Amino acid sequence: MSQQTQHRHALEIINLSIALPNGVRLLRDVSLKLEPGEVRALVGESGAGKSMIGKTVLGILPDTLKITQGEIILEGQHLNMMTPWTRRKTVAEITALIPQDPLTALNPLRKIGPQIVDPLIRIRGWEKDRARARALELLERVHIRAPERVMQSYPHELSGGMRQRILIAAAFAPSPRLIVADEPTTALDVTVQKEILKLIRELQKETGTAVLFVTHDMGVVAKISQQVTVLFAGKVMEDAPTREVFTNPAHPYTRALIAATPSSADLDRPFSPVPTELIAELHAQVARDDALWQGKKR
Amino acid sequence: MTALFSIRDLHLSFPDRGNKPLFGPAPRIEVLKGLTLDIPEGRITGIVGESGSGKSTFGRVLVRLLDPDSGQVLFDGKDIATLDEEAILPLRRDLQMIFQDPMSSLNPRHRVWRLIAQPLKRYGRGGTKAQATEALARVGLPAAFADRYPHQLSGGQRQRVGIARAIALEPRFILADEIVSGLDVSSQAQVLMLLKQLAEEMGLTVAFISHDLSVIRHLCDNVVVLNHGEIVDAGPVAEVFENPQSEVTRKLLSAIPLPEMDDDWFND
Ligand SMILES: Nc1ncnc2c1ncn2[C@@H]1O[C@H](COP(=O)(O)OP(=O)(O)OP(=O)(O)O)[C@@H](O)[C@H]1O
Ligand SMILES: Nc1ncnc2c1ncn2[C@@H]1O[C@H](COP(=O)(O)OP(=O)(O)OP(=O)(O)O)[C@@H](O)[C@H]1O
Ligand SMILES: [Mg+2]
Ligand SMILES: [Mg+2]
């Protein structure tokens, strides 16, 4: 116990499994750690379970899915052992989410201003003026050109990239200590993406915020993260420091993901998706593991 | 090469409600500032530019979802900017579009086949399940998908349905607005290869809006770079990328994150 108080991870996930009501597992024994001030990239192809890990941490998993095993520990506090009320309060206090879908995450009927400001008043208990000033500050930092105007706008009056930046500003505004960023730059052009990645690094250095950065872009992984978790079919394929992943990737799936991303050496090469044979082999492996696991359970 | 679209001095503005005076109309913000360009028939033209540069707004003018303030939008010689709704109707089928998230534009309570069949019916081109299944086959989805609901599809599969829906109408032009942005590299590659193949087979003209220059480079024949509603670079993809004329294009090219360690990347 004393060791735990000495070194508190921002987030620790231990042997997490999540299953559908019929028992089929969507996450398989996932473990990962995130230190304060660190960015951990969570990468893998569509359906790998990246968002599901984020949702579990934030306690917003749909009711139909069940945690069958494992623990989530936020700053040393075991979420599983809390009452729902305390858990919600703890999560709101420590974390913020940049949601995957910027087009539907904003309420279309409300102006942008209150959508950023209200949570600051509600969760942080700030005065209205302070909350407003903070919102404007963050909008400027995500390179929104006319923040006053944007606060007065409705979501449909803004471009896709602007909406995504607004969600990033809203997430950072309350100075959370852990941010789950679910593909936060997919709707952004590369120059704005670069600015946003820079901003995430700055804010993270300033405030020591830890970031769980969900993405499928290995280029982004190389630039933003210090640690990487590679996920396939809800299973961790590789967990290593970013530098190691790009200089000496251990897993064939990691190598395939890197090869599928255009690099400086071969910008003109045609599209090269992850080979279907490799995908089939990995699925077979996961199925074998599942069979073993079923056997053990009996 | 013939131009399917000839755009001449296109201007478009929106009311700026943020600065609306107490009395009188709101001032306007100019979003497209005099665009002039041709979109060649049977080719894929990429439209890139920073967020907010006017890409989607321009695309919406091409399919006449937005009316410009002034300028010409000649489609096959007819100025669609000035046609009234009745005159534009016969052209609607020729001008199709696919968006980043087709889910948000599709009725979640309808099965896939109905989503594809409905527009066929609307344009008096049948609208049977068999037609829908055939369109699904063309985008590489098995017939069983006809009975699924949108939420039962992965992102890549939804984009295929979006494409199937558009091509079933046999349009002459497709506007694709950020259709692969949300997809992982493998699904991206599949959707792009499919689009390219269909465009070639059908002689389609495509305007492909994207912020991803590596995607544009692989998919498009020509590219137009927008900045604050103005064209700053245009031409064949290889030329523009080898020898960009504007600082904006150079910045876009250098900001592509490559899958390599580079400790100085943020410092340039
Ligand atoms: N509510 C749900 N009910 C049943 N299955 C679900 C549900 N939500 C997600 N899934 C399934 O769980 C798996 C993991 O989904 P998740 O959204 O975490 O993927 P992801 O890695 O974030 O993918 P993407 O890159 O497409 O966002 C997928 O196979 C998905 O179909
Ligand atoms: N209905 C509207 N009312 C007011 N302003 C609008 C409206 N639609 C778009 N705009 C403004 O027009 C500008 C261009 O928007 P547009 O959606 O065309 O950008 P974009 O290049 O597609 O950007 P992104 O890459 O972020 O999607 C933005 O400043 C946006 O706020
Ligand atoms: Mg996801
Ligand atoms: Mg757009």
Question: So what's the pLDDT on residue A249?
Answer: 94
Question: A271 vs B189: CB contact, 8 Å cut-off?
Answer: yes
Amino acid identity at A126: W
Q: How far is B16 from chain A (nearest CA, A)?
A: 8
Q: What is the mean pLDDT of residues B84-99?
A: 89
Q: Is there a contact between B219 and B195 (Cβ–Cβ < 8 Å)?
A: yes
Question: So what's the pLDDT on residue B232?
Answer: 97
Question: So what's the pLDDT on residue A129?
Answer: 96
Question: So what's the pLDDT on residue B185?
Answer: 79
User: pLDDT per residue over B193-236, tens digit each?
Assistant: 889 998 999 999 999 999 888 888 889 999 999 999 999 999 99
Q: Is there a contact between B88 and B64 (Cβ–Cβ < 8 Å)?
A: yes
Residue B15 to residue B27: CA distance in whole angstroms: 6
Question: So what's the pLDDT on residue A267?
Answer: 59
Average pLDDT, chain A: 89
Please report, rounded to a whole number, the percentage of residues in chain A having pLDDT higher than 70: 94
Residue B35 to residue B27: CA distance in whole angstroms: 21
Q: Is there a contact between A231 and A237 (Cβ–Cβ < 8 Å)?
A: yes
Count the Cβ atoms, other than its own, within 10 Å of residue A190. 22
Residue B40 to residue A257: CA distance in whole angstroms: 35
Which residues, including other chains, have CB under 8 Å from residue B209's CB and lie 6 or more apart?
Answer: B46, B47, B48, B55, B56, B59, B175, B176, B177, B178
Q: What is the mean pLDDT of residues B248-266?
A: 88
What does the angle CA A150 – CA B64 – CA B87 come to, to the nearest 5 degrees? 145
Distance (angstroms) between ligand 1 centre and the Cα of A79 equals: 22
Among all bound ligands, the one having the nearest atom to the CA of B50 is: 2
For B125, what's the count of Cα atoms within 13 Å in the CB-facing half-sphere? 17
Chain B residues whose beta carbon lies within 8 Å of the beta carbon of residue A219? 256-259
pLDDT band at A270 (very low <50, low <70, confident <90, very high): low
Atom of ligand 1 minimally distant from the CA of A214: 22
Residue A160 to residue A101: CA distance in whole angstroms: 10
Query: Strand order in A25-34's β-sheet?
Result: A25-34, A11-19, A66-74, A77-78
Residue of A nearest to B156 (CA): A46
Q: What is the 3-state secondary structure (H, E, C) of chain A?
A: CHHHHHCCCCEEEEEEEEECCCCCEEEEEEEEEECCCCEEEEECCCCCCHHHHHHHHHCCCCCCCEEEEEEEEECCEEHHHCCHHHHHHHHHHHEEEECCCHHHHCCCCCCHHHHHHHHHHHHHCCCHHHHHHHHHHHHHHCCCCCHHHHHCCCHHHCCHHHHHHHHHHHHHCCCCCEEEEECCCCCCCHHHHHHHHHHHHHHHHHHCCEEEEEECCHHHHHHHCCEEEEEECCEEEEEEEHHHHHHCCCCHHHHHHHHCCCCHHHCCCCCCCCCHHHHHHHHHHHHHHHHHHHHHHC
pLDDT band at B263 (very low <50, low <70, confident <90, very high): confident
**Domains defined for chain A, CATH in brackets:** 2-297 (3.40.50.300)
Average pLDDT, chain B: 90
Residue length of chain A: 298
Amino acid identity at B232: V
Question: So what's the pLDDT on residue A4?
Answer: 46
Identify the residue whose tokens are 């913020």: A96
User: pLDDT per residue over B229-252, tens digit each?
Assistant: 999 999 999 999 889 999 999 988
Question: A45 vs B14: CB contact, 8 Å cut-off?
Answer: no
Please report the DSSP string for B101-118 in residue order.
-HHHHS-TTS-HHHHHHH
Element counts in chain B: helices (H) and strands (E): 10, 10
> Which residues is B12 bridged to in the sheet?
B32
Q: What is the mean pLDDT of residues A227-239?
A: 96
Q: What is the mean pLDDT of residues B146-169?
A: 87
Q: Is B55 in the pocket of ligand 2 (CB under 6 A)?
A: yes
User: What are B35's two structure tokens?
Assistant: 């665009």
Residue A127 to residue A118: CA distance in whole angstroms: 10
Q: Is there a contact between A74 and A54 (Cβ–Cβ < 8 Å)?
A: no
Q: Does A188 touch chain B (CB under 8 A)?
A: yes
Residue length of chain B: 268
pLDDT band at A268 (very low <50, low <70, confident <90, very high): low
Q: What is the mean pLDDT of residues A245-266?
A: 86
pLDDT at B13 over 90: yes
Q: Considering only residues 79 to 98 of chain A, which have any Cβ-Cβ distance to chain B shorter than 8 Å?
A: none
pLDDT at B267 over 50: yes
Q: Does B26 touch chain A (CB under 8 A)?
A: no
Residue of A nearest to B215 (CA): A271
User: pLDDT per residue over A151-201, tens digit each?
Assistant: 999 999 998 888 989 999 999 999 999 999 998 887 788 888 888 898 888
pLDDT band at A3 (very low <50, low <70, confident <90, very high): very low
pLDDT band at A149 (very low <50, low <70, confident <90, very high): very high
Q: What is the mean pLDDT of residues A265-273?
A: 66
Count the Cβ atoms, other than its own, within 10 Å of residue A108. 9
Q: What is the mean pLDDT of residues A92-111?
A: 88
Q: Does A149 touch chain B (CB under 8 A)?
A: yes
Q: Considering only residues 229 to 248 of chain A, which have any Cβ-Cβ distance to chain B shorter than 8 Å?
A: 242-243, 246-247
Which of A56, A152, A147, A166 lies closest to A103, judged by CA? A166
Question: A45 vs B251: CB contact, 8 Å cut-off?
Answer: no
Question: So what's the pLDDT on residue A192?
Answer: 82
What does the angle CA A155 – CA A158 – CA A162 come to, to the nearest 5 degrees? 105
Count the Cβ atoms, other than its own, within 10 Å of residue A109. 7
Residue A105 to residue A123: CA distance in whole angstroms: 19
Residue A15 to residue A28: CA distance in whole angstroms: 8
Amino acid identity at A128: K
Which residues, including other chains, have CB under 8 Å from residue A278's CB and lie 6 or more apart?
Answer: A252, A253, A256
Q: Is B227 in the pocket of ligand 2 (CB under 6 A)?
A: no
| Three-class secondary structure of residue B45 per DSSP | strand
Among A222, A270, A272, select the one facing B259 at the smallest CB separation.
A222
pLDDT at A263 over 60: yes
Please report, rounded to a whole number, the percentage of residues in chain B having pLDDT higher than 90: 56
Q: What is the mean pLDDT of residues A73-95?
A: 94
Residue of B nearest to A153 (CA): B18
Question: So what's the pLDDT on residue A239?
Answer: 97
User: pLDDT per residue over B22-67, tens digit each?
Assistant: 777 778 899 999 999 999 999 999 999 988 899 999 999 999 999 9
Question: So what's the pLDDT on residue A2?
Answer: 43
What does the angle CA B35 – CA A160 – CA A43 come to, to the nearest 5 degrees? 125
Q: Is B133 in the pocket of ligand 2 (CB under 6 A)?
A: no
DSSP state letter for B5: E
Q: Provide the pairing of β-strand A235-241 with A227-232.
A: antiparallel
